[in-house]
């Protein structure tokens, strides 16, 4: 699941680069959720892949953070204009 998380999150990153960011946010969130599930399973059962799952979580949330920053800048500029 950790590898799946990283793969889904990387797909979201590619979507954010080459398509609309609104498409990438739900895909990135899905990758991050899978990463959280993978970390919980690794913690309970032991095993490897803890850092791969963490990378999936971080990369998965990047499109959402970028969208929030862009929306914040848009609202800030639009409100002052």
Please report, in tens digits, the pLDDT of each residue of the chain (81 residues total): 999 999 999 999 898 889 888 888 999 999 999 999 999 999 999 889 999 999 999 999 998 898 899 889 989 888 775
Tell me if the pTM is above 0.75.
yes
What's residue 79's pLDDT? 77
The predicted pLDDT at position 29 comes to 93
Angle, helix 50-80 to helix 2-18, in steps of 10 degrees: 30
- In angstroms, rounded to a whole number, what is the distance separating the alpha carbons of residues 71 and 26? 16
Instruction: Report pLDDT for 81.
Output: 59
């Amino acid at each position: 699941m950790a590898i799946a998380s990283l793969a889904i999150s990387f797909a979201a990153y590619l979507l954010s680069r080459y398509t609309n960011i609104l498409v990438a946010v739900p895909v990135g969130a899905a990758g991050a959720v899978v990463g959280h599930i993978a970390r919980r399973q690794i913690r309970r059962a032991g095993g490897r892949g803890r850092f791969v799952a963490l990378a999936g979580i971080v990369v998965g949330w990047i499109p959402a953070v970028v969208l929030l920053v862009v929306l914040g800048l848009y609202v800030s500029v639009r409100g002052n204009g």
